[in-house]
Amino acid sequence: VISTNAGGTAVLRFGNTRAFVLGLEVVVADGRVWNGLRGLRKDNTGYDLKQLFIGAEGTLGIVTAAVLALHPAPRSRATAWVGVADVAAAVRLLATLRAALSARLVGFELVSAQALAISRRYFPEYADPLPGVPWSVLVELEDSGTEAALAAALEAALAEALEAGDALDAAIAGSLREAAAMWALRENIAEAQRREGPNLKHDIALPVSAVPEFLDYAGALLDRRYPGVRFVVFGHLGDGNLHYNLSPPPGFAAEAFLAEAPQVARIVHDEVAARRGSISAEHGIGQLKRDELVRHKAAVELDLMRSVKAALDPRGLLNPGKVL
């Protein structure tokens, strides 16, 4: 978790794993153990070394212990499924909810109609809360106050969005069971897509405001090259992080489509790079994206990374062949 700087559906509120790590114990390349197990919110005594090891995929040291910051458990939750006309409307909805609900807004997950259809095809027990909307947003709130106050705040914020035309319709979960069913629709997408057959996955991040334009441009380019390609787009719009997965056009052989992976990735990643996005928001570099990393990082950035790697692991012992 720490070495990949893992994220999830609550990054919008709480940040990635990096935001939770107060201290680390790390075995470094010469075999010594660095005990940096501090539990401090503030510490400006030299370089913040723990930051180096978080997300380094084990290439700079091996994390063996950590001190994590915790948040008090919430006392109330609310969940809503909101239909929007397009992704630009979803981005406006996000701004409205952040302004109205501040840190109560914990999750803001985008689901395309295609992604929802695939999820429901393999898990038909979960009903579509708002049939017919082209895009949906799953909104999750948490607070320390009462359920009633949180529900009222959510209703007021959604009413504002409906009035502004940014939301088409909204369904608020009336029970924990309904909330869990909404989350199941979202969380089953990946498994449903696996059952559906081979597809090409991309884990990208963009400035939130650039997401609509990216989807237009990348979608047009891919559809031109692979007419009828099926876009299964979902993810953490609150963080600008999309899972941009492509299933082959009807009649396109699965193996032939998978063989297109490098060409498809290039189209997707070039459109991401054109908007100063990330070609790996959550999933890291590993071995799979080493070549793409070199394509997308400037020489000075790669040189800095290599300098750090050489300084901390001069003999290249730590997770060799990964990242750099």
Q: Which parts of 14-73 interact with its own copies (CB under 8 A)?
A: 15-16, 18-19, 28, 32-49, 51-52, 54-56, 60, 71-72
Residues 163-222 that bind its own copies (CB under 8 A): 205-208
**Cβ at position 290, least distance to its own copies in Å:** 10
First to last CA, the chain: 20
**CB closer to its own copies, 199 vs 278:** 278
**CB closer to its own copies, 7 vs 83:** 7
- 143: β partners: 76
Work out which of 107, 243, 296, 318 binds its own copies, going by CB under 8 A. Answer: 296
**Cβ at position 284, least distance to its own copies in Å:** 5
Phi, then psi, of 62 in degrees rounded to 5: -110, 115
- 66: β partners: 24
Residues 240-279 that bind its own copies (CB under 8 A): 240-241, 276-279
* Residue 295 parent element (H or E): helix 290-296
Residue with tokens 């909330």: 179
**Cβ at position 212, least distance to its own copies in Å:** 16
Strand order of the β-sheet with 21-27 is 33-36, 21-27, 62-68
Residues 75-134 that bind its own copies (CB under 8 A): 75, 98-104
Contact segment (CB under 8 A) with its own copies among 158-166, 185-193, 256-264, 303-311 equals 303-311
**CB closer to its own copies, 200 vs 203:** 203
Residue 283 touches its own copies, criterion: CB under 8 A = yes
In angstroms, what CA-CA distances link 178 with 105, 132, 184?
A: 19, 19, 10
**Cβ at position 239, least distance to its own copies in Å:** 4
**Cβ at position 20, least distance to its own copies in Å:** 12
- Comparing C-alpha atoms, which of 233, 224, 223 is closest to residue 202? 233
| Phi-psi region at 70: left, alpha or beta (left = phi > 0; alpha = psi -120 to 50) | beta
Residue 287 touches its own copies, criterion: CB under 8 A = no
Rounded to the nearest 10 degrees, the angle between the axes of helix 87-101 and helix 147-163 is 140
Residues 134-163 that bind its own copies (CB under 8 A): 142-145, 149, 153
Instruction: Give the number of other Cβ atoms within 10 Å of residue 134's Cβ.
Output: 14
Nearest-5° Cα angle at 196, 192 to 199: 100
**Cβ at position 190, least distance to its own copies in Å:** 17
Residues 217-236 that bind its own copies (CB under 8 A): 236
**CB closer to its own copies, 167 vs 168:** 167
CA diameter of the chain: 62
